[in-house]
Chains A and B, each alone.
Chain A
Amino acid sequence: MTEQSDPAIVTVGLRKAYGEHVVLDDADLRVPAGSVYALLGPNGAGKTTTVNILSTLVAADAGTATVAGHDVARDPDAVRAAIGVTGQFSAVDHLLTGRENLRLMADLHHLGRARGRERVEELLERFGLTEAAARPAATYSGGMGRRLDLAMTLIGTPRVIFLDEPTTGLDPRSRREVWRFVRELVRGGVTIFLTTQYLDEADQLADRVGVLDDGRLVAEGTPDELKRLVPGGHVRLRFADADGLEAAARALAGSTRDDQALSLQVPADGSLASLRDLLARLDAAAAEVQDLSVHAPDLDDVFLALTDRSASRKAPPA
């Protein structure tokens, strides 16, 4: 078998529409085994639909998808045996305890009594749930529920894991916990396909990022490649009054002004030389700067640049 070198997920021309509404339009994806792929996009961009198709929940209208070497449409059971899915909301049985939830999963994976119990205790320990194991899941906090959900996903030792917005609604500490688990899993050789609306999450975790907007994959690459798509960083200047802004805007061609915030955004690569030059020009124009900040390009810039473009393509904002 050449599973290791084969990509974990491949889609070609994947398409899905609900009635007139196209939610996924001709998506081509390729996720190497053992990597983390983040699908980034605003609400309604088609992220969950993509996960639903890849995890055999929904059939695509057109195109093909292969997960762990199996076609999702022709051999869904083989795909199911290879994947683990954590949906957008903690899908746990709230009436059962944490341990009972995990045992249910172990039984459904036919692990056998002894091995199942062993695996359950191991996962409780790993996800810090041993103490809470005998309590009903309904009493768990958001972070604990997510951890239980993840543990349930891992019971069957899946090779490909789908995480649909795994940290939405979590507090910062729980988010970091989820990130830590994701990194651990990747070290173990698992492929992770996650969706997120948080750019820092994709930046932190993903080897490759796909930007999904309105059902279309508008950009794809490593976080660094994507950042290179938008021209450099910028310096943001704030002024005490409109006169200062006016003077500076005249002196700095190519800058973007915001009259309401009394601020000016000047493209800059963040080097000391460019800053010195900028300050000299401001001095020459006698523009009084109240506040200055340097912004390195991040995925936010990429995201806004890419999704703005398509937003203006559609309809002007009300």
Chain B
Amino acid sequence: MTTIVRAATDSSTMLRRNLLRMVRYPSMTLMLVGMPIVFLLLFVYVFGATLGAGIGAGGSGTDGRTAYLGYVVPGILLMTVAAAANGTAVTVSMDMTQGLIARFKTMPIARVAVLTGHVVGNVVQSLIGVAVVLGVALLLGYRPAAGPLGWLGATGLLALIAFAMTWLSVALGLVAKNVESASNLPMPLTFLPFLGSGFVPTDSLPVGLAWFAEHQPFTPMIEGVRGLLSGTPVGSAGWLAVGWSVLISALGYLWARRLYDRRTG
């Protein structure tokens, strides 16, 4: 068997394992999807009317709330992707502490398969999470203007972002000394949308924070998804989002590979 075929076969075996784990442990997925949904409900029903008026979209009251729903969904989707990545760090750390990674490393399987199994599994989980959160948003009255191409683009961009977040989380899961710290290390990812354009426009933030918000990767990611879903011009945000994703994926991959080769658990 050639190296490539072996890597593909072993990766798909590992992917099956991770999907099976997802089925066996649905509460993990529910918890990861539940948190963004709670934030969605909180921001739409509690803060929505006021924030809607604040972003200057369509008056106050119910109109403001609906307008804010349209604004906040992309940020919530990014939060969903980040929360799912958090789950990966926990799973990888469990594999590490329970000796499974050591077991896999003593077997004649493609080195990268263990990690790619986690990564692809998590991208699938992220997209399921994104679909569920979008479903809830649609129930609440979210009506994006995107055409088929916009949807396709948004899905692709979200998948790419999930891919990047996951490689980073795999590395964080490998570097963590135990499962508890693995669940805490990626936490900032979940909250970065707050310090970007996820919940309020960056120009409403104080100067220093606004500078950070404009330059951190989540802002172009959110703007990219927002543009694609609302059918408005994406501008440079799209390419910036893709660039950041590729960069984070590459760094996360290299870091994870290095840790995987070095650490024995």
CA–CA, A104 and B103, complex, Å: 12
Q: CB within 8 A of B20: which of A87, A96, A108? A: A96
Q: CB within 8 A of A87: which of B10, B103, B107? A: B103
Inter-chain contacts of A107 with B (CB < 8 A): 13, 16
Q: Knowing A85-B103, A93-B100, say if A108 contacts B21 (CB, 8 Å).
A: no
Q: Knowing A55-B106, A83-B106, A93-B21, say if A108 contacts B10 (CB, 8 Å).
A: yes
Q: Knowing A88-B99, A95-B24, say if A56 contacts B106 (CB, 8 Å).
A: yes
What's the least CB distance linking B20 to chain A, in Å? 6
Q: CB within 8 A of A91: which of B6, B103, B109? A: B103
CA–CA, A85 and B99, complex, Å: 11
Inter-chain contacts of A200 with B (CB < 8 A): none
A77-109: contact bitstring with B at CB < 8 Å (1 yes, 0 no)? 100110101011111111110001000110111
- Cβ of A136 < 8 Å from any Cβ of B? yes
Q: CB within 8 A of A81: which of B9, B25, B108? A: B108
- Cβ of A58 < 8 Å from any Cβ of B? yes
Inter-chain contacts of A280 with B (CB < 8 A): none
A107-127: contact bitstring with B at CB < 8 Å (1 yes, 0 no)? 111100000000000000000
Could you list 25 examples of A-B contacts with CB < 8 Å?
A55-B106, A57-B102, A57-B105, A77-B108, A80-B106, A83-B106, A85-B102, A85-B106, A87-B99, A87-B103, A88-B99, A90-B99, A91-B100, A91-B102, A92-B100, A93-B21, A95-B24, A96-B21, A96-B24, A104-B13, A108-B13, A108-B104, A108-B107, A109-B107, A136-B24
Interface size class of A (residues with CB under 8 A): 20 to 34
What's the least CB distance linking A142 to chain B, in Å? 14
Q: CB within 8 A of A89: which of B98, B104, B108? A: B98
What's the least CB distance linking A230 to chain B, in Å? 36
